[in-house]
């Protein structure tokens, strides 16, 4: 079991660890104590209830629209919500939410609909205002630089707090699993660009939404290892396509998750989304060709 990081203060910022080390379906939260702003209410439900009741929550911000980040948003029904404009639509309607994951199979939607409502407390929400990449927000506790970091989702945001030197990177979590870009509108290239941008931010503390969560020293080689997972997945796919493979066979190879896992409507959906992205990339580059229902390395290889 992943070791859960401890609740920690970094200047005016309170890092609230999620259960089970912040592994999905949990995430870590961040609370701006002087301003009573809660970012990503997907950590410990009881702890978030305590915060809501005392000292209180004035606004909720989301780094992006994924369910593990809004899991306890229902505790804050009457509190203003802010998110990027690009990531707002999935929060407004459960059908749009599932569309945004690229769910086209009826069995996947039948699985996810009750899970989203019961486990993740999904309720349609519309933001009071949008958070905009590039803006600087002046708060009681200091300034927040809102960074547009698309790729994981089209409107994913990160937050840099220059006074304490803290960078909250959301789901660019530097985990050994690597980046996740399986949504309908996720992007491999945008993910790589965003990670490189985050790498250049002059932070002293790096916080993420999952697993380790807190890096008090520059992550160093973790940046390269994290991005290297993308190349590893692509290499495995190229090796697989030395012989013609159907898309179903590619998904069945479990390049992302390593082996078949349950529930299939979660893990297989992730395999499908990621492999579509990699195949499109390789076909644009002329590395992979399609012949009817099969994919194979181009003869140029």
pLDDT computed for residue 125 by the predictor: 98
Looking at residue 1, what is its pLDDT? Answer: 43
Helix (H, G, I), strand (E, B) or coil at 291: strand
pLDDT of res. 289: 96
Q: Are residues 267 and 182 in the same domain?
A: no
216-240 tens-digit pLDDT = 999 999 999 999 999 999 999 999 9
pLDDT band, residue 94 (cuts 50/70/90): very high
Q: Tell me, what's the pLDDT at 4?
A: 73
Same domain, 261 and 156: no
In this structure, the answer to whether residues 195 and 93 fall within a common structural domain is yes
Say if 33 falls within a structural domain: yes
> How far is C-alpha 279 from the geometric centre of its chain's CA atoms?
21
User: Of the candidates 219, 253, 284, which is a domain's last residue?
Assistant: 219
Strand spans (E) along the chain: 8-10, 13-16, 29-32, 37-39, 59-61, 81-83, 129-130, 136-139, 142-148, 157-161, 166-168, 205-207, 214-215, 245-246, 288-291, 294-297
* Token digits of residue 172: 């660019």
Domain total of the chain: 2
Q: Would you state the pLDDT for residue 299?
A: 65
The CATH number linked to 123 is 3.60.15.10
The predicted model scores a pTM of 0.96
> How does DSSP assign 54-94, residue by residue?
TT--SEEE-SS--GGGSTTGGGGTTS-EEE-STTSHHHH-H
In a domain, 225, yes or no: no
On the question of pLDDT at 128 being above 60, the answer is: yes
| Same domain flag for 246 and 169 | no
Q: Residue 3 has what pLDDT?
A: 64
For 181, the domain range is 8-219
Contact, 46 vs 38, CB < 8 A?
no
* 106 within a domain of the structure (yes/no): yes
Together in a domain, 50 and 120? yes
| % of the chain with per-residue pLDDT over 70 | 98
Is residue 106 over pLDDT 80?
yes
Work out the pLDDT band at 300, boundaries 50, 70, 90: low
What's the chain's length in residues? 301
Please list the residues that pair with 205 across neighbouring strands. 166
Omega of the bond prior to 263 within 30 degrees of 0, cis? Answer: yes
Is residue 274's pLDDT more than 90?
yes
CB 81 within 8 Å of CB 65: no
Confidence bin at 259 (pLDDT 50/70/90): very high
250-256: average pLDDT? 98
204: pLDDT strictly greater than 70: yes
User: Does the pLDDT of residue 145 top 80, yes or no?
Assistant: yes
* Whether residue 75 sits in one domain with residue 140: yes
Is 256 contained in some domain? yes
Percent of the chain with pLDDT strictly greater than 90: 97
Same domain, 89 and 179: yes
Examine the domain organization and report whether 112 and 256 are in the same domain. no
From residue 169, alpha-carbon distances to 37, 70, 103, 212 in Å are 17, 16, 27, 12
- Give mean pLDDT, residues 143-168: 98
Q: Within this chain, do residues 210 and 248 fall inside the same structural domain, yes or no?
A: no
Average pLDDT over residues 74-87: 98
Average pLDDT, the chain: 96
Per-residue pLDDT, averaged over 156-170, amounts to 98
Structure confidence at residue 243 as a pLDDT band (50, 70, 90): very high
In a domain, 230, yes or no: no
Same domain, residue pair 206 and 109: yes
What is the per-residue pLDDT across 21-73, written as a single tens digit (0 to 9) for each? 999 999 999 999 999 999 999 999 999 999 999 999 999 999 999 999 999 99
């Amino acid at each position: 079991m992943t070791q859960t990081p401890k609740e920690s203060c970094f200047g005016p910022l309170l890092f609230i660890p999620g259960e089970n080390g912040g592994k999905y379906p949990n995430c870590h939260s961040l609370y701006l104590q002087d301003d009573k702003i809660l970012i990503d209410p997907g950590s410990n439900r009881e702890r978030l209830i305590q915060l809501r009741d005392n000292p209180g929550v004035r606004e909720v911000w989301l780094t992006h629209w994924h369910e593990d980040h809004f899991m306890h948003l229902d505790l804050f029904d009457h509190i203003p919500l802010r998110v990027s404009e690009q990531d707002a639509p999935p929060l407004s309607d459960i059908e749009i939410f599932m569309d945004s994951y690229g769910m086209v199979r009826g069995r996947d939607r039948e699985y996810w609909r009750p899970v989203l409502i019961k486990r993740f407390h999904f309720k349609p929400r519309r933001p009071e205002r949008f958070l905009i990449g590039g803006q600087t927000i002046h708060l009681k506790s200091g300034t927040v630089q809102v960074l547009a970091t698309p790729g994981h989702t089209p409107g994913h945001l990160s937050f840099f707090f220059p006074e304490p030197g803290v960078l909250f990177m959301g789901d660019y979590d530097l985990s050994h699993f690597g980046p996740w870009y399986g949504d309908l509108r996720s992007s491999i290239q945008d993910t790589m660009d965003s990670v490189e941008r985050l790498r250049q931010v002059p932070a002293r503390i790096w916080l993420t939404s999952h697993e380790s969560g807190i890096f008090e020293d520059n992550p160093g080689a973790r940046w390269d290892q994290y991005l290297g997972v993308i190349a590893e997945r692509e290499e495995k796919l190229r090796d697989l396509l030395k012989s013609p493979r159907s898309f179903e066979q590619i998904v069945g190879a479990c390049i992302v998750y390593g082996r078949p896992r349950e529930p299939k409507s979660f893990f297989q959906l992730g395999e499908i989304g990621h492999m579509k992205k990699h195949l499109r990339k390789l076909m644009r580059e002329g590395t992979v060709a399609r012949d009817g229902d099969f994919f194979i390395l181009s003869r140029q290889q």
